[in-house]
Amino acid sequence: MGKRISVHPFCRGALMLAPAAALLLAGCLAAGEKTEAELQAEPADLTYNKGLALLNAGDTSEASKRFQEIDKAHPYSEYARRSSMMTAFISFRKGAYQETINEATRYITLYPRSPDAAYAQYLIGESYFRQIPDVTRDQDLSRKAMEAMSLVVEKYPESEYAEDARKKIDVARDQIAGKEMQIGRYYLERREYLASVNRFRNVVTNYQMTRHVEEALLRLTEAYLALGIVPEAQTAAAVLGHNFPDSPWYQDSYALLVKGGVRPEENKGSWMSRIFRGEDAEEA
């Protein structure tokens, strides 16, 4: 699973504060907590520049405080909008993913038409993506990553984040399918054939473009044979052979059928045939 993330030009620029500006603000960086009146008295642009200087110096905690001060003292200003994005960006850099999700979600709610909304949505997806666990564990975070990245593609298809979002949707989808396969194999080993069929069917129906679909069709051949539903077993093997003729999984499914005295034969009315003909999964 890749760890690359696109960084919005807005945030890249924040990390390139001119040395002269940093020196100019150096005397202000160690300031303590301010009263509400002091916060409101200080111009938003000055507080924002202090935050950038702190961020440039590597002090993310103090930088975040400055950006949050702007949000409190100047809530409807342009600098409040920028500060909200910077707060989400800093949280992400620190690995505080839930804070990133919260702040980026808030940003999109307050500024849905902002040019930076695409980046905020991408940060949400990336925050979930970075937390995806291995396939043996619950894949709720994979689903959330897929949903969040899908919004990047759907709402901001022309953004610079859409391509990376599509790649990570594929990774998350493959992870979810892998979990379904693991559960299906567990049921198959325990001879709970109907339960295993349901899991493998889900992979074939909803995760057809993942690398797991070939094995899922083999396992369906195996489970249907065990249940005595021979036509469906024949169809699973036939569909596998038609779509993936060079697959080792097809060779295994073919051997299973021959051992049982039958050969692959597709039943056009089977849900598997209908799925691979591109018909609606619900109708199948």
Q: So what's the pLDDT on residue 41? A: 63
Average pLDDT value for the chain = 89
Residues 65-93, mean pLDDT to the nearest whole number: 94
The pLDDT assigned to 203 comes to 98
Task: Give the CA dihedral 129, 131, 132, 138, nearest 10 degrees.
Answer: -130
Mean pLDDT of 77-103: 96
| Rounded Cα distance, 106 and 131, in Å | 20
Q: Is the pLDDT of residue 190 over 50?
A: yes
pLDDT at 96 over 50: yes
pTM here is 0.83
pLDDT tens for each residue of 151-181: 999 999 999 999 999 999 999 999 999 999 9
Contact 182, 216 (CB under 8 A): no
Dmax (CA) of the chain: 87
Q: What is the mean pLDDT of residues 205-230?
A: 97
**pLDDT over 90 (residue 186):** yes
User: Which stretches within the chain are classed as H helix?
Assistant: 9-14, 19-25, 36-41, 44-56, 60-73, 78-93, 97-110, 117-129, 140-155, 162-189, 193-206, 213-227, 230-243, 248-259, 271-276
Alpha-carbon distance of 79 to 225, in angstroms, equals 66
Q: What is the pLDDT of residue 284?
A: 43
Q: Which pair of tokens denotes residue 116?
A: 């930076």
pLDDT at site 49:
93
Unique residue bearing structure tokens 């039958």: 262
pLDDT band, very low/low/confident/very high, at 18 (cuts 50, 70, 90) = very low
Q: What residue ranges do the domains of the chain occupy?
A: 1-94
C-alpha to C-alpha distance for 113 and 19, rounded to whole angstroms? 33
pLDDT at position 31 is 46
